[in-house]
Amino acid sequence: MTRRLVLAPEEARRVSRDVRYRAAKASVHVPDPMWRARSACASVEPSTFFPDAEGRPDAALALCGRCSVAGHCLAAALTTAEPEGVWGGTTPDERRRMRVVWTGRWRA
């Protein structure tokens, strides 16, 4: 049985103000099926974005911070509930909280 993550209203507001989350929401209104081809990570080793338990995601997060399609990437990860790796400049823990707001499940 999986536990459902519950966010307090103030945490949900903080998530909804996050610039990465806002970029993901905005990208939904401007569909771009070719975003992956323009991603900054297109020529980077995929393992960079899936560090092991001791690995730090700093290199991946830095690359995402310079990517012009990070919003599209994050929107795709939130839509599909991607549980692993760095997507759109977020870690799995950050995305779990964002996903609660993304799906509207934070409301009591």
Q: What is the DSSP string of the chain?
A: -PPPP---HHHHHHHHH-HHHHHHHHHHTS--TTGGGG-TTTTS-GGGGS--TT---HHHHHHHHT-TTHHHHHHHHHHHT--SS-BTTB-HHHHHHHHHHHTTTT--
pTM of the model: 0.90
Q: Is residue 1 part of a domain?
A: no
Burial environment of residue 60 by CB neighbours within 10 A (0 to 12, 13 to 18, 19 or more): buried
Residue 24 lies in a domain: yes
Asked whether residue 107 is assigned to any structural domain, the reply reads no
Q: Which domain holds residue 14?
A: 9-102
Q: How confident is residue 107, by pLDDT bands cut at 50, 70 and 90?
A: low
Tens digit of pLDDT for each residue in 58-68?
Answer: 999 999 999 99
Tally the C-alpha atoms within 13 A of residue 108's C-alpha that lie toward its C-beta. Answer: 3
The tally of domains found in the chain comes to 1
Q: Is residue 36 part of a domain?
A: yes
Q: How confident is the model at residue 55 (pLDDT cuts 50, 70, 90)?
A: confident
In a domain, 80, yes or no: yes
pLDDT at 5: 82
54 in a structural domain: yes
> What is the mean pLDDT of the segment spanning 69-92?
97
Is 14 a domain residue?
yes
Confidence of residue 20 (pLDDT cuts 50, 70, 90): very high
The whole-number pLDDT of residue 102 equals 95
Domain assignment present for 31: yes
